[in-house]
A = this chain, B = another copy of it.
């Protein structure tokens, strides 16, 4: 597996700094966020990445299908734009953070997610983009995603469309604790539905709000090499994308943060 840097891991850098920093270190992939597209336009961001000799491994993110503050058509339109942006960036992966519970009950919220992905699947497939349903850790169920396990994500994907249109994102931080993980990864792999593999590490105590608790690989308790073996055995051949949200890492100069990430990628995942 090759290394890709999710740009949020080094968000102290603007996109041009990031692609240059990656290029001089021999890293060939970056995962972008929609704010990069907002800043440079899809064509502009694509050009920046391509000119540095890199490719975009994923775009983060579509989803938030349960939001009550926007109507469904508005939400679907925004997701279609995200698919267009992914296509323009020449990545075939759009990661979906499906949306939290809001004021819904779980069954309704999860049905809303299923309906939206089913609706978007053909649009994505026509543009060569695969929707990557990302189960988030259950501690995010109320506010970020009602898709809480990989098994649930795989089942959703299977019902929503063919593997060319809908898959799953395996993010170690979100799924490491799951007693059913091995079976879910195998099932996802058998269907050719693993579209991305992301890594960081789990440490406690969690910070207030829990979002920025992700640690550098090797600082926590996740057996990342085992998980890499698991997704590899399931047939995944894409990159390892490092996605860390961590105030200490963000406080460092970008070059230092990136060097640390590469060091830990080598010691924990190669």
Contact = CB atoms under 8 A, between A and B. Distances in A.
Indicate the size class of the contact surface on chain A: 20 to 34
A68 interface: no
A100 to B, nearest CB: 8
Interface majority SS (helix, strand, loop, mixed), chain A: loop
A223 interface: yes
| Copies of this protein chain in the complex | 2
Interface stretch (A1-9, A54-62, A201-209): A201-209
Nearest to A208: B208
Given A101-B221, A152-B179, A179-B152, A142 B209 contact: no
A221 B110 CA distance: 15
Nearest to A144: B204
A148 B110 CA distance: 21
B179 A110 contact: yes
A137 interface: yes
A27 interface: no
B142 A139 contact: no
21 contacts: A105-B223, A105-B226, A106-B176, A137-B138, A138-B138, A138-B178, A139-B139, A139-B206, A139-B210, A141-B177, A142-B177, A142-B220, A148-B178, A148-B179, A149-B179, A151-B179, A205-B209, A205-B210, A206-B209, A206-B210, A207-B208
